[in-house]
Amino acid sequence: MYISRKFLFNLIIATFIFSASLTATSSSIQLYDNPTTEITVNDPTIFPESIIYDSKSKRFLISSFRQGTIYEVSNDGQTKALIEDDRLCSVLAIRIDTNRDRLYATNSDMGACTKPTRNGPKKVAALAVYQLSTGQPVGYYDLAKLLPKNSHLANGLTLDSEGNVYITDSFSPTIYRVDTKGTISVFLNDVEFEGQGINLNGIVFHPDGYFLTIKKSTGELYKIPLDAPQNFTKVKSRRKLVGGDGLVLASNNQLAVIANQASGVSANAVFTIKSNDNWISYTVTDKVYIGDVYPTTGTIKNEELYVIHSNINKLLSASERNKVKIRIQAKIKRFGRIK
């Protein structure tokens, strides 16, 4: 039987794509039973909320909830300010795009920063953009003005494949969009995301064209199509991850969820969850308890999962007089490996 070269070429390509797809969806996170402290952050006044690993420059970056600054962290825990901007109060999520040389940060005011904003707590929601290599400012986008009567907490942050940015608001039931030209808009607003305390939080973009985001107060995970956000759905599960804060997409079908405290539940753990039906539903596959330290977010470095904690809850609950006295060194722990 004659087989053309074109047929063989197409068969090889199809086989390669199929194999790559299997690899992407079959990898999983193996959590360590005894997570090790990789780095102790030297400055006890930073109170980092978010962490990201810059693989190009081989450095961790952390955001300061207290100082409104973004720092580089060396392997021995020494910190160096990368972004110092008077507009920043409490920096929550940070994300990087090495191809576009960009660093993105969400800015809010919870009444716990050293640079209080003019409008006061729960009135600020903004996205700040910087050149990753130099720290020079590129843009600053006031998101709160889209919903001026609402309370605000710009929290989670992710980018789609085109470089557009999406930000969750934990106090207003909203996800904002900032496109590559700097145009701001409400991507999704729905009463489903309302609730007591902190609501929409961590968010990730899935390469199949949708977002996964968690509502901290209830532990619900949502799937939101990029091209039809109003058709969002709850991801079904027997277990709700109350206190869910940071999300790390380890593969197409597995997430790491960093959970702290909410609605009377103190999880203080890292969960791995898996979906076998394109995130119509999920199951919890593993859990490692961290301790009463209020872990917030995680990142991937060299196929390993790192999680940060700095007891931000103690800072938030302290009186204004006592906030200046609190000193807690943040820990960056190695929590698991992607296999």
Domain that holds residue 315: 27-338
Q: Rounded distance, CA 115 to CA 126, Å?
A: 15
Tell me what percent of the chain is helix, strand and coil, each rounded to the nearest 5: 10, 50, 40
For residue 333, give the nearest of 315, 310, 314, 312 by alpha carbon.
Answer: 310
For the cut 80, the answer to whether the pLDDT of residue 11 exceeds it is no
Q: Report the pLDDT value the prediction gives residue 203, as an integer from 0 to 100.
A: 98
Q: Model pTM?
A: 0.91
**What value does the mean pLDDT take over residues 322-339?**
95
Domain count along the chain: 1
More confident: 332 or 8 = 332
Q: What Rg value do the Cα atoms of the chain yield, rounded?
A: 20
Domain membership flag for residue 10? no
Domain membership flag for residue 13? no
**What value does the mean pLDDT take over residues 179-197?**
97
For residue 107, what is the domain's CATH number?
Answer: 2.120.10.30
Domain membership flag for residue 16? no
Domain membership flag for residue 178? yes
Domain membership flag for residue 329? yes
Q: What percent of the chain has pLDDT over 70?
A: 92
Q: Report the pLDDT value the prediction gives residue 95, as an integer from 0 to 100.
A: 98
Domain membership flag for residue 220? yes
User: 97's torsion region: left (phi>0), alpha (psi -120 to 50) or beta?
Assistant: beta
For residue 83, give the nearest of 2, 39, 137 by alpha carbon.
Answer: 137
Mean pLDDT (the chain) is 93
Domain membership flag for residue 4? no
Q: Rounded distance, CA 134 to CA 194, Å?
A: 38
For the cut 50, the answer to whether the pLDDT of residue 86 exceeds it is yes
